[in-house]
Amino acid sequence: MLGPLILAASRSDRMRRLVSAAPMTKPVVGRFIPGETVDQVIPVVAGLTDRGLEVTLDVVGEDITTRAQATAARDAYLRLIERLGPLGLGTRAEMSVKLSMFGQSLEGGHELALANVRPVVEAAAAIGTSVTLDAEDHTTLDSMFAVHGELRKDFPGTGCVIQAYLFRTEEDARRLAAGGSRVRLVKGAYKEPASVAHQDRAGIDKSYVRILRTLMEGAGYPMIGSHDPRLISVGQELARRAGRKLDEYEFQMLYGIRSEEHLRLAAQGHRMRVYTAYGTDWYGYFMRRLAEKPANLLFFVRSMITK
């Protein structure tokens, strides 16, 4: 009930201004976004990798409106990669990008996003790591998959994200699994209409399991992006049945969510990657985290009242 309302607010400029400007927001945001600058996030990366975890880094931002912002997004990732290089982490620190931040929704956006993301993928490859393309709302996905296909011609390790709530995803999963791609499967975090997406939890979870089976039985590298204890167990069982070794798939969770579970899976020998977002334009990312668990909203409101 609250989730869809929060997701609608995540697209409102007025709410963005209100929430972003409130000084009391910062400590709550910090639970999910451990810094605004590359200087702040590098020690976080070191702390996570020292504890046996892997990371995927997201410079927050999306839905930009000018070409200059798209160029700035590209440059922010290039600066990040420059700083990661000397740490020598290789694939233990990869990048996640949203193509909307690289200009996808502007005029000529598909080509623009591809042109902006390519140097990031090249720079990542030069330090021995890769990039995963996040999945945004369903209207952007044909373009995202086309960019992914283009990038894989030169950088086959480029990954992409698919969303279990969308009806189209079972077919996307079959194609990507057959093509041997790295694929992160998530439930899906956007407000989507009933014409394209399951609306009920049970339907989404069943779809997740069917798609995960396809990925596990395929030729690619499945990345299980979920905090759901049941799906984590199902993922382990499907990997076992498909005869996959522990380094032939991985788990991924978001920074600040079920952190003890990150360590538990890593201690069992699993590859566990923490999606770590940082930057100043955190509004959209933050609101999706509130929508996933409305209890977060109560925590947020309480912290505003008690300040």
Number of chain positions touching ligand FAD (CB under 6 A) = 24
* 34 sits near ligand FAD (criterion: CB under 6 A): no
CA 300 to chain CA centroid, nearest Å: 22
> Which H or E run includes 278?
strand 272-278
Of 97, 76, 48, give the one whose Cα is nearest residue 274: 48
Site membership for ligand FAD, residue 187 (CB under 6 A): yes
86-145 residues in contact with ligand FAD (CB under 6 A) are 134-135
**Helix pair angle (38-50, 67-84), 10° resolution:** 40
Binding string, 154-183, against ligand FAD, x = CB under 6 A? -------x-x--------------------
Of 176, 167, 249, 255, nearest in space to 216 by CA = 249
Residue 189 counted as an annotated binding residue = yes
Q: % helix / strand / coil in the chain, to the nearest 5?
A: 55, 15, 30
d(Cα 56, Cα 117) in Å, to the nearest integer?
16
Provide the angle, in degrees to the nearest 10, between the axes of the packed helices 109-126 and 141-154: 40
Q: Which range of residues in 19-27, 103-111, 168-176, 254-262 is near ligand FAD by CB under 6 A?
A: 254-262
Q: Could you confirm whether 184 is annotated as catalytic?
A: yes
User: Applying CB under 6 A, which of residues 103, 188, 235, 284 lies at the interface with ligand FAD?
Assistant: 188
Q: Which of 253, 272, 287, 297 lies at the binding interface for ligand FAD (CB under 6 A)?
A: 253
Residues 209-228 that bind ligand FAD (CB under 6 A): 225-228
- Residues of the binding site: 98, 163, 187-189, 226-227, 288-289
- The footprint of ligand FAD (CB under 6 A) covers 134-135, 161, 163, 184, 186-190, 225-228, 252-254, 257-258, 275, 289, 292-293, 296
